[in-house]
Amino acid sequence: MNPAPNLVLVGPMGAGKSSIGRRLAGRFGLDFVDADREIEARTGASIPTIFECEGEAGFRAREAATLADLLQREGVVIATGGGAVLDAGNRGRMRERGFVVHLQVSLARQLDRLARDRSRPLLAGDDREQVLRRLTEQRAPLYAEVADLCFDTDTLFPPQAAAQLTRLLEAQWTRPPRAGLQERIA
């Protein structure tokens, strides 16, 4: 068991990190942060705009800084961006400060879930299937490297996935009590 202060969700686009993460945070009484939304809030610009102005390298630098800040907290469910695992420093910080859950999803389900999504810069081209396949080949080993637990979301709606994942986490994640709770108990 990994007695980590935070729960970190990694996985590809369309795996359900944000929708499942919000539900897990509610079930465990934790705060929820979507790392991509946090980057947008800090910069005052959308992810596509950041990509357009700074390129992927600029976005990844912002992502690493934001993730480092978020992981210093305790009692947070963090939904990372799909590419957060590309940076070795991010992977190290996630392992050090989080119980990491790799949410898995098939290519067919990703295509279905992302069919109407036009907000993802890496999917701006014509052949989404080819892009998602390439990203999976590149990132799947990195997700596996950081994961304390793998969970398949392919056939589940977010409420079902959160319920099943809650049971698994209750059995496998030793979460330190929050500081405020410790003070009230003492």
Residue 22 marked in a binding site: no
**What ranges do the domains of the chain cover?**
6-185
Structure confidence by residue, pLDDT tens digits, 38-56: 999 999 999 989 989 999 9
What pLDDT score does 115 carry? 73
Structure confidence by residue, pLDDT tens digits, 77-129: 999 999 999 999 999 999 999 999 999 999 888 878 777 777 676 667 778 88
Spell out where the chain has E strands. 6-10, 31-34, 76-79, 98-104, 149-152
Residue 98 marked in a binding site: no
Residue 82 marked in a binding site: yes
- Asked whether 20 and 153 are in contact (CB, 8 A), the reply is yes
Residue 113 marked in a binding site: no
CATH 3.40.50.920 fits 6-185, yes or no: no
